[in-house]
Amino acid sequence: METFKFIVKIIAAVLVVKVLFFLGGMVAKDKAVEKPMIERFLNEFVINNSEFKYPIKVDDVTTLRSRKLIKEGGIYFVVEDLQMNVARETFAIPYQEVGDLVKTEASPQICQDFKENRENLFKGYSQVGLIQKYVDINNNFVAEVKFHISSC
């Protein structure tokens, strides 16, 4: 159980760091940017950035395999395909609870970061969210975690 709690804490810490990186990348001086500009920006600098060579090792437990952009209900989501290097059968809690646990651990920091940085972000940033899809070492589904400012 201690090992699993450690893994979840690492995942939550990684999420916070990634969100800070994501928020930092969204800073812009032009406050009148339209949604299509946001989409172009996300595609160029987050999704198709030539600096990212997948797979990317996030930490000892997690690897980022790819990213894509989807639009769901008028909101853009960066979807991250993440693989954990453990089998879900070895988790101390049911794998179905992992998503809720990760979201519970990471949401307070993510929401605080957004509130603190709100005035420095693109006007359309409220239309951008993050979905993380986790699979285990055997490519079995573990969790999908969705973050958006509307859930803060």
Which amino acid makes up residue 92? Answer: A
Of the candidate ranges 3-12, 19-28, 82-91, 136-145, the one whose mean pLDDT is the lowest? 19-28
| pLDDT attached to residue 32 | 43
Tokens found for residue 2: 């201690």
CA distance 78 to 147: 10
Cβ atoms within 10 Å, residue 29: 6
CA-nearest of 77, 84, 115, 121 to 99 is: 84
Displacement of CA 57 from its chain's centroid (Å): 14
Amino acid identity of residue 120, one-letter, is N
- For residue 59, the model assigns a pLDDT of 92
Using the predicted structure, report yes or no on whether residue 72 has a pLDDT greater than 60: yes
Q: Is the previous residue joined to 94 through a cis bond, with omega within 30 degrees of 0?
A: no
12-16, 58-62, 65-69, 105-109: which range is least confident on average? Answer: 12-16
What is the rounded CA–CA span in Å between residue 139 and residue 130?
21
Q: How many Å apart are CA 77 and CA 132, to the nearest integer?
A: 10
Share of the chain above pLDDT 90, in %: 41
Residue whose token pair is 């060579």: 53
- Residues 78-135 have pLDDT tens digits of 999 999 999 999 998 999 999 999 999 988 988 888 777 766 655 556 668 899 999 9
